[in-house]
A = this chain, B = another copy of it.
Amino acid sequence: MARAATTSDAFNAIAEPRRRAILTLLVARERPVNEIVSELKLDQPSVSKHLRVLRDVGLVRVRCDGRQKFYRTQAEAIRPLHEWAATFERYWSHQLNRVKERAERAAAQESKSTPHTGGKDDD
């Protein structure tokens, strides 16, 4: 087997930096393809292919008007990502708290004696 298809998942789809750029560009308002091309300075077939991937995983929607197609980010599709990442939030808070506490202890010590070896801490 090889890597999972880019279209298999929102996680796989957003791994590509240009696709993230496209999503960012299209979140505020819909835009026709040529505008994405000129704005991000990619060539048109490339943009179309990226849009295809994003479309396949529901990260963008299209509205057709004459010969133009207006794409727009489907923000809800990013939510699962956000929620998955949020799962880890309390843990990085923990770590930050530990760092903070240590800094505070160090500062308290600093004003008394200036030691060079801190107390024995985890991580």
Contact pattern, A 18-54, Cβ under 8 Å of B = 1, otherwise 0:
0010011001100000000000000000000000000
In angstroms, Cα B84 to Cα A12, docked, is 15
Option from B15, B79, B85, B96 in Cβ contact (under 8 Å) with A15:
B15
- Count of identical protomers in the assembly: 2
Contact A76:B95 (CB < 8 A) given known A11-B15, A16-B4, A20-B84: yes
B-side contacts of A86, CB under 8 Å: 82
- The reply on A9 being an interface residue by CB < 8 A is yes
In angstroms, Cα B16 to Cα A11, docked, is 8
Which residues 47-81 of A have a CB within 8 angstroms of B?
Answer: 61, 73, 75-76, 78-79, 81
